[in-house]
């Protein structure tokens, strides 16, 4: 109690009010700028996605759009049935390999692109054009090109035979290897660009500081360059992985119907077997998987960059 | 440890001659500043000593060993960058330990050295913090600790304090000076700040267009500049183009537009066209009735700037530029107002004669 003051004499301090809660209807003009995009996303992303969620929990008679009951059996099937597990395994493996190969091929290119900006701008320009141009060619065209290249009598086999690396043509089309090659080619820019942009922002004095402290090249790469380019590596890997595991056109063209990956199976469920619920359940697993990859990536590096900016 | 000899160091960037046959001798434990405007080659010279710039010609010897072609990481040097260049992903302790770990040290040995280095720069409490959580001055002290912990023979500093505010900068200057004296470390310090160079250095090398114009103790550089560039770059001066007309022993006489002024210390090689200069604080301000003497010029006060400890007088003497006289304020000292006629006078020994400087 306040020193001897009776209750009715207590002069209230500045009235204690909860901080004003953000009012969702009190949108400032800046927020309105987003509304076309928000409306679009609502109509063409959130709405279809929620019907997908709905469908994945309900039983449909083939051909009917009216559910006959609630069920978790599709999720159980997708997550336990060996048939589905094999498909998920293939998907995960292919996406992981594509990501790894993109990283191994892409990192040196990204490094060169980033550092050439300082000393040889023309080289950076050339690299940018080389990396970017394929993005302007439709993915169908590029995937189709790979079906030609990877054929038994295609250019890849021809070159390998010519070089004496193989005796008989190897089968690349309709195999995981062929799919990884095509995915790597199509999504490589998504690995290179984020890494290059991160490396470009690393202070060149840091490498020089490490040199003056006696660090040989290998140590400088392992202890300075790589740790500082991790945000780019992680962003690139997340993007390539998510794009690879959800790719539909490329596996369809390169691997035909013979190599089953999740998007191909989802499409088959919806368009061929009319098993909507199973397709929806598998699509949801795919969505959750990619969301998890993005979320982990974001959380981990937000925390890390906050730490590097300042520590409490 | 720390005896440095640079012979005919040469470096070109395209058409720019960044280092034009520079030679320099630095003794053990000496603190030498490279002073000059941006683009004079001082940073290029410093970086070439670290091996961060590859020389086109010339040799660099450290303790008698030719290190001209030695990669940076094999040179036993410490380098402090203008922007600190602390590793942002490592704690302060990890930053300092980096150079020791690279050398294969570990465990308690490293711990001890890091703790000692932090004590040396008086920041033991920063041990486990990230560099970004420190102020600029603290970051630069950590950078210093990191550079010193490996006990380099030669410490190279590239404008390390230019990003700090004035008060902190002055404090850091004294600390660094004290540190290099205590550790008996040879230091080469790049700066464009003449005050900083004068305060800290055993010797200053003033650089201009890829060459060392003059190297000497701070007093020599300020009192006996040998080129117009050094005269202008370090301190203020009243400069008059003239002609050397007479010489007796150390003393000489310079003709400036018909008036004759006396000076001392003109080199033997000097003759003909010369520049005659007097620093503003060497000038005495006298009332117009003062007895006539050598080295006088009369004029009218055009402007007075009172700075507390001293007063700056701008005096119109009928030349293009007004004469500057800086006078210490004492009670009863002559303090003429704007418009007053005054006599300016200086000692021959306080005048500077530089060769060939037709303006």
- Residue limits of CATH 2.40.50.100 in chain B: 238-355
Residue at A293 is within a domain: yes
Q: Taking all residues of chain A, what is their mean pLDDT, rounded to a whole number?
A: 85
Nearest by CB to A216, from B73, B129, B130: name it: B73
Residue at A211 is within a domain: yes
Q: Which of A108, A109, A145 is nearest to A126 (CA)?
A: A109
Q: How confident is the model at residue B333 (pLDDT cuts 50, 70, 90)?
A: confident
Q: What count of residues does chain B have? A: 359
Given a cut of 90, is residue B1 above it in pLDDT? no
Q: Which of B176, B168, B170, B169 is nearest to B145 (CA)?
A: B176
Predicted pLDDT of residue B101: 95
Predicted pLDDT of residue B257: 86
State both tokens at B120.
């040396």
Q: Is B84:B139 a contact under the CB 8 Å cutoff?
A: yes
Q: What count of residues does chain A have? A: 312
- Residue limits of CATH 3.40.50.300 in chain B: 4-228
- Residues of chain B contacting A120 with CB distance shorter than 8 Å: none
Residue B151 and residue A151: Cα distance in Å, rounded? 63
Looking at the structure of chain A, the number of domains it has is 1
Residue at A228 is within a domain: yes
Predicted pLDDT of residue A310: 52
- Residues of chain A contacting B114 with CB distance shorter than 8 Å: none
Residue at A35 is within a domain: no
DSSP letter, residue B326: E
Cα separations in angstroms, B209 against B12, B82, B262 = 12, 22, 32
Q: How confident is the model at residue A309 (pLDDT cuts 50, 70, 90)?
A: low
Q: Taking all residues of chain B, what is their mean pLDDT, rounded to a whole number?
A: 92
Q: Nearest residue on chain A to B80, judged by CA atoms?
A: A209
CB contact under 8 A, A211 and B83: no
B288-317 residue pLDDT tens: 998 988 899 999 999 999 999 999 999 999
For chain A, list the strands marked E by DSSP: 58-60, 67-70
Predicted pLDDT of residue A24: 57
For residue A284, the enclosing domain spans 73-309
Q: Is B270:B331 a contact under the CB 8 Å cutoff?
A: no
Q: Does B63 touch chain A (CB under 8 A)?
A: no
Phi (first) and psi of residue B256, to 5 degrees: -115, 100
Percent of residues, chain B, with pLDDT higher than 70: 98
Given a cut of 60, is residue B181 above it in pLDDT? yes
State both tokens at A65.
């759009």
Side-chain half-sphere exposure of A67, counting CA atoms within 13 A: 14
Residue B51 and residue B65: Cα distance in Å, rounded? 14
Q: Nearest residue on chain B to A218, judged by CA atoms?
A: B102
Given a cut of 50, is residue A210 above it in pLDDT? yes
- Residues of chain A contacting B147 with CB distance shorter than 8 Å: 212-213
- Residues of chain B contacting A306 with CB distance shorter than 8 Å: none
Residue at A163 is within a domain: yes
CATH code, B238-355: 2.40.50.100
Residue B30 and residue B46: Cα distance in Å, rounded? 15
Residue at A26 is within a domain: no
Predicted pLDDT of residue A8: 43
Given a cut of 70, is residue A29 above it in pLDDT? no
Q: How far is CA B238 from the centre of its chain?
A: 21
Q: State the helix-helix crossing angle for A82-119 and A176-201, rounded to 10 degrees.
A: 40
Say which CATH number the domain at A298 has.
Answer: 1.10.3720.10
Q: Give me the mean pLDDT over the B62-87 stretch.
A: 94
Given a cut of 90, is residue A299 above it in pLDDT? no
- Residues of chain A contacting B160 with CB distance shorter than 8 Å: none
Ranking A88-102, B25-39, B105-119, B268-282 by mean pLDDT, the lowest is: B268-282
Predicted pLDDT of residue A11: 42
B264-292 residue pLDDT tens: 877 666 778 899 999 999 999 999 998 98
For Cα atoms B163, B32, B122, give the angle at the middle one, nearest 5 degrees. 50
Nearest by CB to B99, from A213, A224, A312: name it: A213
Residue at A225 is within a domain: yes
Predicted pLDDT of residue A15: 46
Predicted pLDDT of residue A209: 97
Q: Give me the mean pLDDT over the B70-79 stretch.
A: 94
Predicted pLDDT of residue A110: 95
Assigned CATH topology for domain B4-228: Rossmann fold (3.40.50)
CB contact under 8 A, B130 and A308: yes
Q: Which of B348, B300, B308, B298 is nearest to B328 (CA)?
A: B308
Percent of residues, chain A, with pLDDT higher than 90: 48
Residue at A103 is within a domain: yes
Tell me the DSSP string of B241-298: EEEEEEEETTEEEEEETTEEEEEE---TT--EEEEEEE-GGGPEEE-TTSPP-SSEEE
Q: Give me the mean pLDDT over the A89-105 stretch.
A: 96
B272 or B19: which carries more pLDDT confidence?
A: B19
Phi (first) and psi of residue B238, to 5 degrees: -95, 115
Predicted pLDDT of residue B261: 93
Given a cut of 70, is residue B357 above it in pLDDT? no
CB contact under 8 A, B132 and A309: yes
Predicted pLDDT of residue A132: 85
Given a cut of 70, is residue A7 above it in pLDDT? no
Given a cut of 80, is residue A10 above it in pLDDT? no
Nearest by CB to A211, from B73, B83, B156: name it: B73
Predicted pLDDT of residue B206: 97
- Residues of chain B contacting A118 with CB distance shorter than 8 Å: none
Nearest by CB to B133, from A219, A224, A311: name it: A311
């Amino acid at each position: 109690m306040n020193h001897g003051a009776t209750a009715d004499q207590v002069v209230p301090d500045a009235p204690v009010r909860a901080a004003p809660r953000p009012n969702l209807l009190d949108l400032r003009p800046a927020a309105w700028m987003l509304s076309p995009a928000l409306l679009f996303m609502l109509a063409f992303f959130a709405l279809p996605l929620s019907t997908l969620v709905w469908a994945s929990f309900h039983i449909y008679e083939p051909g009917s759009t009216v559910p006959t009951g609630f069920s978790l059996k599709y999720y159980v099937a997708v997550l336990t049935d060996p048939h589905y597990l094999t498909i998920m395994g293939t998907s995960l493996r292919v996406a992981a390999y594509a990501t790894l190969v993109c990283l191994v091929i892409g990192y040196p290119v990204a490094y060169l692109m980033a550092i050439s900006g300082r000393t040889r701008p023309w080289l950076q320009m050339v690299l940018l054009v080389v990396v970017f141009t394929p993005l302007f060619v439709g993915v169908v065209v590029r995937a189709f090109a790979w079906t030609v290249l990877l054929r038994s009598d295609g250019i890849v086999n021809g070159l390998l035979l010519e070089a004496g690396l193989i005796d008989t043509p190897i089968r690349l089309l309709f195999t995981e290897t062929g799919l990884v090659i095509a995915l790597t080619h199509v999504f490589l820019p998504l690995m290179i660009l984020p890494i290059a942009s991160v490396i470009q922002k690393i202070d060149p004095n840091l490498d020089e500081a490490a040199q003056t402290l006696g660090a040989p090249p290998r140590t400088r790469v392992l202890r300075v360059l790589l740790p500082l380019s991790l945000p780019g590596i992680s962003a690139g890997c997340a993007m390539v992985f998510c794009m690879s595991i959800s790719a539909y056109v490329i596996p369809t063209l390169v691997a035909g119907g013979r190599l089953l990956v999740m998007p191909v199976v989802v499409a088959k469920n919806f368009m061929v077997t009319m098993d909507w619920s199973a397709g929806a359940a598998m699509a949801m697993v795919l969505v959750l998987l990619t969301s998890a990859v993005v979320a982990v990536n974001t959380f981990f590096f937000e925390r890390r960059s906050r730490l590097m900016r300042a520590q409490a | 440890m720390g005896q440095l000899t640079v012979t005919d160091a040469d470096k070109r960037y395209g058409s720019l001659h960044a280092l034009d046959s520079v030679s320099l001798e630095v003794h053990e434990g000496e603190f030498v500043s490279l002073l000059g405007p941006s683009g004079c080659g001082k940073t290029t010279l410093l970086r070439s000593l670290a091996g961060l710039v590859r020389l086109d010609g010339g040799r660099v010897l450290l303790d008698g060993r030719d290190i001209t072609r030695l990669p940076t990481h094999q040179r036993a040097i410490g380098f402090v960058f203008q922007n600190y260049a602390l590793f942002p992903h490592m704690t302060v302790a990890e930053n300092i330990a980096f150079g020791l770990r690279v050398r294969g040290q570990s465990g308690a040995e490293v711990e001890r050295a890091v703790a000692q280095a932090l004590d040396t720069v008086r920041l033991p409490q920063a041990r486990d913090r990230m560099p970004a959580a420190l102020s600029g001055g603290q970051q630069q002290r950590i950078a210093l600790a990191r550079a010193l912990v490996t006990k380099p023979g030669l410490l190279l500093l590239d404008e390390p304090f230019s990003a700090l505010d004035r008060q902190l900068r002055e404090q850091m200057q004294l600390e660094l000076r004290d540190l290099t004296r205590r550790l008996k470390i040879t230091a080469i310090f790049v700066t464009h700040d003449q005050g900083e160079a004068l305060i800290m250095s055993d010797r200053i090398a003033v650089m201009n267009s890829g060459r060392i114009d003059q190297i000497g103790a701070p007093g020599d550089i300020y009192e006996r500049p040998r080129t117009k560039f050094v005269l202008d770059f370090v301190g203020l001066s009243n400069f008059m183009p003239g002609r050397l007309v007479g010489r007796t022993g150390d003393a000489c006489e310079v003709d400036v537009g018909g008036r004759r002024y006396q000076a001392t210390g003109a080199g033997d090689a000097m003759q003909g066209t010369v520049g005659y200069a007097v620093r503003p604080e060497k000038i005495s301000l006298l009332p117009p009735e003062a007895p006539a003497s050598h080295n006088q010029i009369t004029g009218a006060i055009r402007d007075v700037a009172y700075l507390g400890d001293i007063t700056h007088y701008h005096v119109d003497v009928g030349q293009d530029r007004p004469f500057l006289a800086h006078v210490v304020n004492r009670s009863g000292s002559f303090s003429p107002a704007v418009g007053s006629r005054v006599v300016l006078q200086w000692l021959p020994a306080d005048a500077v004669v530089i060769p060939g400087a037709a303006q």
